[in-house]
């Protein structure tokens, strides 16, 4: 059977391109020149971030992940996907435009599932940039890839939940105002109806921030931390439940699908920046009597990177359009999640290699990019889990006597 040919529109519509140019201009003028100072993560960096955020807000480049009725400047899912390709070029830019993980995802689920009171109390200050938040699902003692094994519980007592458990990798919890915790509320229910998402104020008695867990030698500060938390008899009112009790996985799925598109669009920004640095330096640096750009190994890296980035971009835009049309596009999302995470790491690694020792210094953004990129193969589902999802789905078709149709 012939596969129907569907053109993937790879250029954004004109009005979105104009918006991308505004973001790109803001980044060129304000974000890239500040990157080194921001990476120091000291008090000066905090002041600089506050100043950049105020500028971005004043220029209407604020919270592009949410629609105006939720307090953002968003223009829909696809527009935001295309914007992330620009924003993703700097790891600091999401914070500048107030669309940083995990606040962006938390904001989206509060907007979609929150009650009027929850939106007023938690979403409004989040979108305004008055508070930050965290998302608390992963636990040190069970596999995060299989969250049906979660052990943190929320037990109903009167009109309150009492939460007990041990979490880690609750990113950005240091200095946050509240978190959304995934806890088992009905252990007897079917595995995907056992857990709920519950809003917890960061200052709730019994919630202890044990430590910011250093990752790859980096402790981070505030937004860039990955925190270990203990919940010991933490009491919150039942009205802090997001959606209905048992909706935890349904809400998580709603967050993760589109969220992965946005992650990968940001990674595309990182890949393209690394690619530009790779090509630029290869043309400039000479060794053994010729430019690095004239060595076949480097030419191969350039050609492979170009092909892989292009493939990632088309895969991502294809999945984005399917989601925009109402399809969950689960296979497409899993495909691009593991493929793009690998390409991201490989392209940055090649760019570092071309730069030699300079690639490991802070004279280029590559070392910071390399450090950030490794996590992409683990968070939002490790590579192996997404490959399992894809291959199982494909094999189902063959087991049923069919074949796999490529879109
Ligand atoms: C930078 C970063 C930020 C994060 N931020 C957050 C956050 O804000 N909130 C939060 O709750 N969590 C967060 N996480 C945690 C993340 O969601 C988990 O790390 C992820 O779900 C994997 O869980 P795990 O680490 O427990 O690994 P495990 O589930 O224990 O898996 C370990 C390894 O086993 C292998 N594996 C697992 N399943 C299979 C399989 N079926 N087949 C073959 N191999 C398999 C994979 O190689 C995997 O890497 C973050 C993680 C990182 C790296």
Chain-centre distance of CA 248, in angstroms?
19
How far apart are the C-alpha atoms of 240 and 201, rounded to whole Å? Answer: 10
Q: Is the CB of 163 under 6 A from ligand 1?
A: no
φ, ψ of residue 209 to 5 degrees: the values are -85, 105
Is the separation of the CB atoms in 318 and 8 below 8 Å? yes
Which pLDDT score is estimated for 4? 42
User: What CATH number was assigned to the domain covering residues 249-399?
Assistant: 1.20.140.10
Helix segments in 88-234, DSSP class H: 93-96, 103-113, 116-118, 124-128
Distances (CA, A) of 337 to 303, 329, 351, 367: 22, 12, 21, 22
pLDDT tens-digit series, residues 290-340? 999 999 999 999 999 999 999 999 999 999 999 999 998 999 999 999 999
For the chain, give every residue range classified as CATH 1.20.140.10: 249-399
- From the CA of 101, give the closest atom in ligand 1: 8
Q: Is the CB of 229 under 6 A from ligand 1?
A: no
Q: Is the CB of 388 under 6 A from ligand 1?
A: yes
Chain-centre distance of CA 25, in angstroms?
23
Q: Is the CB of 145 under 6 A from ligand 1?
A: yes
111 alpha carbon – ligand 1 mean position (Å):
26
Q: Is 285 helix (H, G, I), strand (E, B) or coil?
A: coil
Is the separation of the CB atoms in 311 and 336 below 8 Å? no
Q: State how beta strands 178-184 and 133-136 pair.
A: parallel
Hey, which residues does 128 pair with through a beta bridge? none
CA-nearest residue, atom 8 of ligand 1? 171
CA-nearest residue, atom 32 of ligand 1? 143
Helix segments in 325-402, DSSP class H: 330-355, 366-374, 383-399
Tokens of residue 399, six digits: 């087991």
Which pLDDT score is estimated for 191? 97
375 alpha carbon – ligand 1 mean position (Å):
9
Tokens of residue 328, six digits: 């969950």
User: What CATH number was assigned to the domain covering residues 133-246?
Assistant: 2.40.110.10
How far apart are the C-alpha atoms of 220 and 199, rounded to whole Å? Answer: 24
Closest CA to 189 of 232, 241, 250: 250
- From the CA of 138, give the closest atom in ligand 1: 11
137 alpha carbon – ligand 1 mean position (Å):
11
Q: Is the CB of 375 under 6 A from ligand 1?
A: yes
Chain-centre distance of CA 178, in angstroms?
19
Residue 47: count other Cβ atoms within 10 Å of its Cβ. 11
Residue in 138, 198, 227, 390 to alter for ligand 1 test, most ligand atoms within 8 A of Cβ: 138
Which pLDDT score is estimated for 257? 81
Torsion of CA 246, 250, 254, 259, to 10 degrees: 80
147 alpha carbon – ligand 1 mean position (Å):
10
For the chain, give every residue range classified as CATH 2.40.110.10: 133-246
330-355 and 248-284 helices, crossing angle to 10°: 30
Q: Is the CB of 171 under 6 A from ligand 1?
A: yes
Q: Is the CB of 77 under 6 A from ligand 1?
A: no
Sign (positive or negative) of CA dihedral 217, 129, 242, 380: negative
Which pLDDT score is estimated for 8? 58
User: What CATH number was assigned to the domain covering residues 14-99?
Assistant: 1.10.540.10
Helix segments in 130-195, DSSP class H: none
Residue in 134, 140, 168, 169 to alter for ligand 1 test, most ligand atoms within 8 A of Cβ: 169
Q: Is 391 helix (H, G, I), strand (E, B) or coil?
A: helix
Q: Is the CB of 97 under 6 A from ligand 1?
A: no
Mean pLDDT by 10 residues, the chain (407 residues): 51 91 98 96 98 98 97 94 97 97 96 97 98 98 97 98 98 98 98 98 98 96 98 98 97 88 96 98 98 98 98 95 90 96 98 98 96 97 97 97 91
14-26 and 77-87 helices, crossing angle to 10°: 30
CB under 8 Å to 59, separation ≥6 — which residues?
Answer: 22, 26
Q: Is the CB of 378 under 6 A from ligand 1?
A: yes
Torsion of CA 291, 293, 299, 305, to 10 degrees: 140
Query: If you ran DSSP here, which 8-state letter would residue 62 be given?
Result: S
Q: Is the CB of 106 under 6 A from ligand 1?
A: no
Distances (CA, A) of 239 to 85, 111, 117, 160, 392: 37, 16, 9, 8, 39
Q: Is 262 helix (H, G, I), strand (E, B) or coil?
A: helix
Which pLDDT score is estimated for 172? 98
């Amino acid at each position: 059977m012939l596969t129907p040919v569907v053109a993937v529109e790879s250029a954004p519509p004109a009005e979105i391109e104009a918006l991308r140019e505004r973001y790109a201009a803001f980044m060129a003028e304000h974000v890239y020149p500040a990157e080194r100072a921001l990476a120091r993560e000291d008090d000066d960096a905090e002041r600089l971030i506050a100043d950049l955020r105020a500028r971005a807000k004043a220029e209407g480049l604020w919270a592009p992940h949410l629609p105006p009725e939720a307090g953002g400047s968003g223009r829909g899912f696809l527009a935001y996907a295309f914007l992330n390709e620009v924003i993703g070029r700097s790891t600091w830019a999401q914070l500048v435009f107030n669309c940083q993980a995990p606040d962006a995802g938390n904001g989206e689920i509060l907007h979609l599932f929150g009650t009027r009171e929850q939106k007023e109390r938690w979403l409004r200050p989040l979108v305004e940039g008055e508070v930050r938040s965290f998302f608390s699902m992963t636990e040190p003692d069970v596999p995060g890839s299989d969250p049906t094994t979660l052990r943190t519980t929320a037990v109903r007592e009167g009109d309150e939940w009492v939460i007990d458990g041990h979490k880690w990798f609750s990113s950005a919890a240091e200095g946050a105002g509240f978190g959304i915790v995934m806890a088992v509320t009905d252990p007897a229910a079917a595995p995907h109806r056992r857990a709920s998402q519950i809003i917890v104020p960061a200052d709730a008695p019994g919630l202890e921030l044990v430590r910011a867990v250093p990752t790859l030698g980096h402790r981070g500060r505030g937004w860039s931390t990955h925190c270990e938390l203990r919940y010991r008899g933490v009491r919150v009112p039942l009205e802090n439940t997001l959606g209905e009790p048992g909706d935890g996985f349904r809400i998580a799925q709603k967050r993760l699908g589109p969220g992965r598109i946005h992650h990968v669009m940001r990674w595309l920004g990182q890949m393209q920046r690394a690619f530009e640095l790779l090509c630029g330096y290869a043309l400039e640096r000479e060794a053994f009597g010729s430019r690095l750009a004239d060595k076949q190994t480097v030419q191969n890296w350039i050609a492979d990177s170009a092909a892989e980035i292009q493939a990632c971009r088309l895969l991502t835009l294809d999945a984005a359009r399917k989601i925009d049309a109402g399809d969950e596009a689960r296979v497409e999302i899993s495909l691009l999640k593991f493929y793009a995470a690998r390409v991201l790491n490989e392209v940055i690694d090649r760019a570092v290699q071309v730069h030699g020792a300079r690639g490991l210094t802070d004279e280029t953004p590559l070392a910071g990019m390399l450090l950030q990129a490794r996590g992409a193969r683990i968070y939002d589902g490790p590579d192996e889990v997404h490959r399992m999802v894809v291959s199982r789905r494909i094999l189902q078709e063959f087991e049923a006597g069919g074949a796999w149709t490529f879109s």
